[in-house]
């Protein structure tokens, strides 16, 4: 979330920067609400001051033995007027908050301007794509020919955009996740976490998935909350609530996580951590659940775009002065996995129009897929600066002892399913078997190849 003071003092520049991201800011509505807020705030303060003055006047009059009936009537009227003004002020502030929660982050000055993914810029490449001496197959054909990848049964169990792996392929999928976790914890300094796969609305609001991207989430209904039964909210909860009956922080519904970024980042929600504890580096292996709203017709074949997939997530919570150095480091950690697996890739810096909602700058890592003759995204590494921290009220005590918003970063290290796709296509053999990357063979009990078992 952007700092509302920035909007109040530099609105024209913010509107210009948001336009580069393809976001049209509601200037007229914001200015109208701001004018109303100022008027109501002044009116509320005046009524509070008048009520306090009259209350003192009553005390003095009683001390002199005077009749205070008329003054008491004035206090009662002031109380009614004050309550109405406070209610209207709260409604106006909630409406302003609703606007703030819909605004994406501002892009860093180093981010290239652009209108689509075609304007993303290549930063570097690693590895040389393999030259095959036979016609390459895609990962679906390879997995099915091995008898280890079964989409029809997955459709029967759950529907489209799900997969079923068995035998050696399921083990290879598990080995990948274990290898990634071992690398990040033993070599890159991350602390492994096991996190809930269901989170509440406030957690998703904290990292930016709610309210704007509710359709992309899998919501788990529990019970409809009767307003009369709602739990009282704290002042901070009220300030973050929306005037929207379909989305309330007192709703008991939970959501399946779209990424472990959500629970990992929210660990520090509403906390003030010690400056010396930074950076905080966390990793977790979880399933991820996405409805893929708006992606119909895209990557319908295979495991590229699914409703359920596994990912090893990297999150860093850092001092603001170190966040861009941390972004380079985190991206390098994700790259190291591909290098160890000997998978060719390239790194792209995303343009202003192609970045995620919360990001100030993002690098996409794209792995080479021979069957598509193209590089495809396998990791996004982003610096969100203070955008998420402001929504979560995640702070640290700075060098002067004062609370300050920290910076949050996240990235895939890596998407397990897409990494498996890349291995299937890059390590396929002419006889239909699959060679296992050397770095994974110890996780596979020394196995160096997957081949189809002969029919009995």
- Count the neighbouring beta carbons within 10 Å of the beta carbon of residue 8: 13
Distances 413 to 1, 227, 334, 454 between C-alpha atoms, Å: 25, 42, 5, 36
Pairing mode, strands 219-220 and 254-256: antiparallel
Cα 189 from Cα 356, distance rounded (Å): 26
Cα 27 from Cα 35, distance rounded (Å): 12
Q: What is the DSSP code string of 6-58?
A: HHHHHHHHHHHHHHHTT----HHHHHHHHHHHHHHHHHHHHHHHHHHHHHHHH
Cα 354 from Cα 366, distance rounded (Å): 15
Classify residue 135 as exposed, middle or buried by CB count within 10 Å of its CB (0-12, 13-18, 19+).
Answer: exposed
CB of 406 within 8 A of CB of 319? yes
Give the three-state DSSP class for 452.
coil
Q: Tokens 């396998």 map to which residue?
A: 378
Distance separating the N- and C-terminal Cα atoms of the chain? 61
* Feature table: binding site: 259-261, 290-292, 313, 377-380, 412
Per the document, the length of the chain is: 456
Cα 201 from Cα 217, distance rounded (Å): 11
Bond from prior residue into 211 cis (ω within 30 degrees of 0): yes
* Feature table: binding site for L-serine: 259-261, 313, 412
DSSP annotation of 428: B
* Feature table: binding site for ATP: 290-292, 377-380
Classify residue 155 as exposed, middle or buried by CB count within 10 Å of its CB (0-12, 13-18, 19+).
Answer: middle
């Amino acid at each position: 979330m952007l700092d509302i003071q920035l909007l109040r003092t530099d609105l024209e520049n913010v509107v210009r920067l948001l336009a580069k991201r393809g976001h049209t800011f509601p200037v007229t509505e914001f200015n109208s609400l701001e004018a109303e807020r100022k008027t109501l705030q002044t009116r509320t303060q005046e009524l509070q001051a008048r009520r306090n003055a009259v209350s003192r006047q009553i005390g003095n009059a009683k001390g002199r033995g005077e009749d205070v009936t008329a003054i008491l009537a004035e206090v009662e009227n002031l109380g009614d007027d004050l309550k109405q003004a406070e209610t209207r002020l709260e409604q106006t502030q909630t409406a302003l908050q609703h606007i703030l929660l819909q605004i994406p982050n501002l892009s860093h000055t180093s981010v290239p301007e652009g209108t689509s993914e075609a304007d993303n810029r290549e930063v570097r490449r690693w590895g040389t794509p393999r030259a095959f001496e036979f016609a390459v197959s895609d990962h679906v054909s390879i997995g099915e020919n091995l008898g280890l990848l079964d989409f029809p049964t997955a459709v029967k169990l759950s529907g489209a955009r799900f997969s079923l792996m068995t035998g050696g392929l399921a083990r290879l999928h598990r080995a990948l996740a274990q290898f990634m976790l071992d690398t990040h914890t033993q070599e890159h300094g991350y602390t492994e976490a096991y996190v809930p796969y269901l989170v509440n609305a406030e957690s998703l609001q904290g990292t930016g998935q709610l309210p704007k991207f509710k359709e992309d989430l899998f919501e788990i209904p529990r019970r409809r909350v009767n307003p009369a039964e709602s739990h009282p909210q704290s002042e901070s909860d009220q300030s973050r609530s929306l005037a929207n009956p379909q989305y309330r922080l007192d709703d008991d519904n939970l959501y399946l996580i779209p990424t472990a970024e959500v629970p990992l980042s929210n660990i520090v929600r509403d906390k003030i951590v010690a400056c010396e504890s930074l950076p905080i580096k966390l990793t977790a292996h979880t399933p991820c659940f996405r409805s893929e709203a708006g992606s119909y017709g895209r990557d319908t074949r295979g495991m590229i775009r699914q409703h359920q997939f596994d990912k090893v997530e990297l999150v860093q919570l850092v001092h603001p002065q170190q966040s861009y150095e941390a972004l380079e480091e985190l991206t390098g950690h994700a790259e190291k996995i591909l290098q160890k697996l000997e998978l060719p890739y390239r790194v792209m810096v995303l343009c202003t129009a192609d970045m995620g909602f919360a990001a100030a700058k993002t690098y996409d890592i794209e792995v080479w897929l021979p069957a598509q003759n193209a590089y495809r995204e396998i990791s996004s590494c982003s610096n969100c600066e203070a955008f998420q921290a402001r929504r979560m009220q995640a702070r640290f005590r700075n060098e002067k002892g004062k609370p300050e918003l920290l910076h949050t970063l996240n990235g895939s290290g890596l998407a397990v399913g897409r990494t498996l796709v890349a291995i299937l296509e890059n390590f396929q053999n002419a006889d239909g078997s699959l060679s296992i990357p050397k770095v994974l063979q110890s996780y596979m009990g020394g196995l160096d190849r997957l081949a189809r078992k002969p029919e009995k």
